[in-house]
Structure 1
Amino acid sequence: MSLTIRPAASDDHDAVWAILEPTIRAGETYALPRDGSRADMLAYWFSPGHRVFVAATEDGVRGTYLLKANQAGGGSHVANAGFMTHPAASGRGIARAMGRHALDTARGAGFAAMQFNFVVATNTRAVALWEHLGFAVVGRLPGAFRHPVHGTVDALVMFRAL
């Protein structure tokens, strides 16, 4: 599989929405409104201060991620990111490639570390991927996420130095 990761362009919005919508509607991995409109969710993903990337294969755009400072001011040296892949691309290594790309991009942008503030604990594939990429669970938020299938579940704070 040939994979290219590049900055997202305005003409990628339809392809990015095709990735965001099923993930948001499922409500299992992101603390975003499940009924959020296309306009509102794309405005969030492409917010000022977010660097947005897409991962494209011969089948089209199959993943997207955003990279930003986790906090302003004294916390601006720590990056934060969010990742989604197209349901048809699950298990093809796209999230892993985007994770590595994000770490390299964050390091290149001068960030000293990366932190994920809210990894839903039942998202075991994501937790395993981030641990494989060197992240450690540094905090647990008991019952912080209302999962549509599992009820109230924990969210994890994950961190790694760059």
Structure 2
Amino acid sequence: MRLSSPMILKGALGASLALNLVLAGVLWWQPAQNPHGPSRMQARIERLLPEADREAFRRAMQAGRAQYEPAHAGLREGFAEIQAALRQQPFDAARLRAAMAAGRTRWGEFSRLYEESLTQALGAISAEGRALVAQDIERGQREHRKDGRRREGQD
């Protein structure tokens, strides 16, 4: 069987997505002093904001929690399914593929619901507060680019 370029590209994209799901699970649920999951992003944004905006943001995020929390719980279940498939002996590639496909669906649903809550919360704060969030994103992008160049130079 000869592999075509589109087939290779689809395989590479699938492998990349699978790796992202596994890494997201590791990063999302690693024990830490800081809050984890969606609370980590919320806490980071709250630290940036002036007090009046912080309260408005917190209230709006709390209002959306009932929408995205069940989807977040589904993500945790999905990662447990992926872990079980990875540990299964003998290894069953079809089971792992199915668990990762279900994870993609769960991630999409959680992402959609969380983004809606985040959008509502960011709309509830001042223009100054949103500018502070934008500056933080820019700072993170600069640091990410800088770290990437440093790593490339070390290889």
Instruction: Give the alignment's TM-score, normalised by structure 2.
Output: 0.23
Per residue, is there more helix in 1 or in 2?
2
In our comparison, the structure showing a higher alpha carbon Rg is: 2
Per residue, is there more strand in 1 or in 2?
1
Structure with higher RCO (Cα < 8 A, 6+ apart): 2
